[in-house]
A and B are shown apart, each in its own frame.
Chain A
């Protein structure tokens, strides 16, 4: 047996293991743990985002092993599935924050609309100025909304839903990575405002970041992403229709 060729049964073992759902599930968790360790090692540097790091680790592993994404997802779907109950569970911290929510309903609603319109308009303007295609521009419009809703909107207005999902995740990682330093520099320390801005601009991944800061910030991030999703699902298709006339 030469060192270059692995023993046959070891190879068969790998063929078996890489085809079970266990592989995708284990790889997802291990990649995430590596992401968390690296974040800690980098002392919470903004670019050391655990989601970004875990995705990079998995991308390299899948490229090297030649495992196709659908096969990986057979196992990873068990993690992905929990997004559903986690979204429903946003209602719980929100109810426990009810006095604050009732008191701040108008400032929050106006901020939601202002932030949503500003980010959507900026995306369209910048992409258009730099010569992006119409399909790309339309796919960019709902990118600050939580991915499942954004994909539905994208389809309605003539974008490509899967491309929109990629933009959503990019937006989420970017918002989560940069928000801390940016908001602190602007002198915004109120946890309600920080969480709400994160949820409004960077949806679920922003909310995940907000929950790491504080439960109160997380609750308002959850509120922002849910409201932005519900309102955006109606307002964005209506606005695009208006511009087309």
Chain B
């Protein structure tokens, strides 16, 4: 586990350094994500404890947004002035974004040939069974 966390922090550091050097308007962790993805492509049979560390961090990802979210308090007066257009714009555009992404992805995915059996991470038949269970 310490190795996995060290790897994640190392790539975050590398991403930060790359963002600094290149002046890209992309934050370090996102570049770190891209770098780690490229490196792991070459060694995806030997991930070690990385999957455990990743699922540990992701199982309560929403907790990590609470401190920044509480900062909304500081902007309540600014928001109060234009709350009608803001709420309307955020609500409609978020719903439109969700629906358009999902419908376009589904429409185009139907044209893609399905994976030959054995190469998928999950057997095709299971998708339907699990969807019905969660629906």
Contact = CB atoms under 8 A, between A and B. Distances in A.
Contacts of A54: 63, 66, 69
Contacts of A211: 58-59, 61
A108 interface: yes
A92 B67 contact: no
Interface string A42-58: 00000000110011001
A55 B69 contact: yes
Nearest to B10: A88
Nearest to B56: A89
A153 to B, nearest CB: 7
B73 interface: yes
A167 B86 contact: yes
Contacts of B67: 24, 28, 72-73, 76-77, 79-80
Contacts of A111: 100-102, 104-105, 108
Contacts of A166: 71-72, 75, 79
Interface stretch (A1-9, A11-19, A195-203): A195-203
Number of chain A interface residues as a range = 35 or more
A229 to B, nearest CB: 5
Given A72-B70, A108-B105, A130 B88 contact: yes
B82 A196 contact: no
A213 B121 contact: no
A170 B73 CA distance: 12
Interface in A66-108: 69, 72-73, 76-77, 79-80, 82-100, 103-104, 106-108
A159 interface: no
A65 interface: no
Contact of A201 (B101, B111, B131): B101
A213 B8 CA distance: 24
A118 interface: yes
A182 B99 contact: yes
A87 to B, nearest CB: 4
Given A85-B9, A111-B101, A196-B101, A136 B27 contact: no
Interface of B: 5, 8-9, 11-12, 15, 24-30, 32-34, 36-37, 40-41, 44, 47, 50-51, 53-55, 57-75, 78-79, 82, 84-86, 88-106, 108-109, 111-112, 115, 119-122, 127, 130-132, 134-135
Interface of A: 24, 28-29, 31-32, 50-51, 54-55, 58-59, 62-63, 69, 72-73, 76-77, 79-80, 82-100, 103-104, 106-108, 110-112, 114-116, 118-120, 122-124, 126-127, 130-133, 136, 140, 143-144, 146-149, 152-153, 156, 162-163, 165-167, 169-176, 178-179, 182-184, 186, 188-194, 196-198, 200-202, 204-205, 207-209, 211, 213-216, 218, 222, 224, 226, 229-230, 233, 237
10 contacts: A83-B64, A87-B12, A89-B33, A95-B41, A107-B109, A108-B105, A127-B86, A191-B130, A197-B98, A229-B26
In the A-B complex, list the 5 residue pairs whose CB atoms are closest, starting with the nearest: A119-B97, A115-B101, A107-B108, A201-B97, A76-B67
